[in-house]
Amino acid sequence: MKLTLLAAALFAAQQSTAAVPVDTEAFRAAITPQGVRAHQYELQFIAEANGGTRAASTPGHEASLEYIKLLVESAGYVVTVQPFDFPYFQEQSPAQLEQLAPVPTVYPYAEASGFLTLTYSGAGEITGAAEGVDLQLPPAATANSSTSGCEPEDFAGFTPGNIAIIQRGSCTFLLKAQNAEAAGASGVVIFNEGQAERTDAFNGTLGEPSVGIPVVGAAFAVGQELAAGNVVARVFVDAISEIRNTSNLIAETPGGRDDRVVVVGAHLDSVQEGPGINDNGSGSAALLEMALRLAEMGVEPVNQVRFAWWGAEEIGLLGSQAYVDNLSARDIKDIAVNLNFDMIGSPNFVRFVYDGDGSATDTAGPNGSGNIEQVFLDYFADQSLPVEPTAFDGRSDYGPFIAVGIPAGGLFTGAEDIKTVEQEAIYGGIAGEPYDPCYHLACDTSDNNSDEALDQMSDAAAHAVFTFAMTSSSVNGTDKGSDKAQKSADALDYQGSKLRR
């Protein structure tokens, strides 16, 4: 690659003083919404040709990876395909939960008042007496207070063959299910704990395919009914739960300081239910366009840039976790920053910036994350575009990076949460509706997109990528540490987008 006059001038300016800001205008101008959308359309075409999905280990995901791989190899990047094993789960038909006696009741599947299958549930159809396990009814005033099913002793006297009715609470769903299976339960219903915000059926995960019996998560009212005594119930789960293989795709610049690496990531996989063109075809497409244009412009970065398309994010950040797990202590130290772009074209969008310093959400990233946040805030302020903070809640691929102390930041336009009246006044759209009405659904196609959001957020992403690629200053050199940043990944309630306890 040749060093352009623009890049050379930037490089010289950065060598003279770390305080000189990077001029990102030319790079931002090269990242057009049409360019990003072209890649989204290609991902849509790939999904349509492969059963409507790009989920990890499916032909749709493999074709998506190959599409990007060919382009970045042709652009001159050093490309690595990093395979890893991961736990796979797929429901093949809707699960069923019903009370057979004394009051025959069919509970609705995938509805707030009914139940959902926990990811990595075992398969099977079982009928048996429902038996409550160490329940707190009425529930305690504080959430995560119930220890139902958390100890093997909770199952003392449990009748083997019965269906264990367990309350959500202080420990993971996996531990509850493992204890129930060890006690001889034929199936498990984990029902919500019962506090004000814990009444509906929940989207949860066991985290691994180690339980051989059906496990579902139900609304609080369903659990109360099943635990009332002398109840006969039936549970049916038709699912595949096993270990499979998929890959990350890594493309890094041949040049730049390899002791101050900028890792720019987005997950490439969709959920099983749909093509995932906003989640996360939007971030994946923006990354690809940035990589191609950076190479086309002949920019030789001051710091090495490593573009990463993660696999198996939807199953629990497994691709980014596999990547971080394979880093040495020296490798971790050499990564200056992780930028994460997961969903940047939501139709009913809000411009969210990760709250790196924890000033608004009380959950900070590692030392330096506040400086990353400030780069985004300054950019949006210069563009007269209002933004809002979003927390490091562990629901995207920055999670494994912040867990080992790597500064992180990124952008997000919203998923299943509901837009407020105040947000409608600022960003437009429709209050009372989800930011992305097709989140994790088959309708997350190329039509499920805001061109306005995609344009604004891809420009902001390009600004940050180029800034950190060309700066000679340390990302975390001036940021003070925060005790709010010392949250481990295990302390978070989420594994990917699904609850783990």
The set of catalytic residues is: 313
Nearest to 439 by CA among 317, 280, 207: 280
- C-alpha torsion 394→498→189→141, nearest 10: 50
In whole angstroms, give the CA distance from residue 498 to residue 201.
Answer: 12
- C-alpha torsion 250→255→261→267, nearest 10: -20
Angle (CA) 75-80-85 rounded to 5° is: 145
From the number of C-beta atoms within 10 Å of its C-beta (0-12, 13-18, 19+), residue 381 rates as exposed
Nearest to 440 by CA among 355, 479, 494, 498: 498
Q: Hey, what are 306's tokens?
A: 């490593």
In whole angstroms, give the CA distance from residue 421 to residue 428.
Answer: 9
Q: Which residue has the tokens 């270990």?
A: 243
HSE value, Cβ hemisphere, 13 Å, CA-based, for 28: 17
Q: Which helix (H) or strand (E) holds 88?
A: strand 78-101
Q: Hey, what are 90's tokens?
A: 């797929």
User: 3-class SS at 63?
Assistant: helix
Q: Hey, what are 415's tokens?
A: 């998923």
Structural contact between residues 307 and 287, judged by C-beta atoms closer than 8 angstroms: yes
**C-alpha distance across the termini of the chain, in Å:** 50
For the stretch 312-330, what's the b/e string if a residue is b when 16 or more beta carbons lie within 10 angstroms of its beta carbon? bbbbbbbbbbbbbeebeee
Structural contact between residues 316 and 118, judged by C-beta atoms closer than 8 angstroms: no
Structural contact between residues 213 and 125, judged by C-beta atoms closer than 8 angstroms: no
In whole angstroms, give the CA distance from residue 54 to residue 263.
Answer: 23
Structural contact between residues 416 and 499, judged by C-beta atoms closer than 8 angstroms: no
In whole angstroms, give the CA distance from residue 343 to residue 300.
Answer: 28
Nearest to 265 by CA among 171, 164, 338: 338
Structural contact between residues 321 and 267, judged by C-beta atoms closer than 8 angstroms: no
